[in-house]
Amino acid sequence: MTIKVGDRLPDVQFRVMTEEGPQVKTTDEIFKGKKVALFAVPGAYTGTCHKMHLPSIFLNAYAIKDKGVDTIAIVSVNDAFVMNAWKRDTDQRDEAIFLADGNAEFTKAIGMEMDGSGFGLGTRSLRYSMLIDDGVVKTLNLEPNPGKVEVSGGDTLLGQL
């Protein structure tokens, strides 16, 4: 079942990199009591994700937060080490939390997985953005073509706030 507006996020665990190494963060720890702009990408460092999607988020990060968003989160079916390197290489102003969904637990739980095995990528996430308020989906922008950023970018979500 694919998640939809009005649904509560499932209880899952992500991995995030800390000074002490990879740590578990639960859905509640990230989303409970907060307004979160969540952006999902098929893969760290992949062409569209790296060159189009992330720049659209970071170009609009200040404005998104000025509209009352507490946290900007980026999730991908990658491990915490890759996500940490990607954050280091892209998030120069430390504006987002990078969530590793290495086993696609979150992605599968919300019905947003895709089969990228034809490209050697295995199970990946569809490209989307969500506005989540206290764990409940308020806005969902599912990209019809995962190779493009037409409805899931930072500019689109900003315009919806």
**Residues with catalytic roles:** 49
For residue 56, what is the enclosing H or E element?
helix 54-58
Q: What angle do CA 104, 105, 109 make, to 5 degrees?
A: 115
Structural contact between residues 142 and 129, judged by C-beta atoms closer than 8 angstroms: no
Torsion angles phi and psi, residue 150, rounded to 5: -110, -30
Structure tokens at 157: 């979500």
Bridge partner list, 100: 15, 76
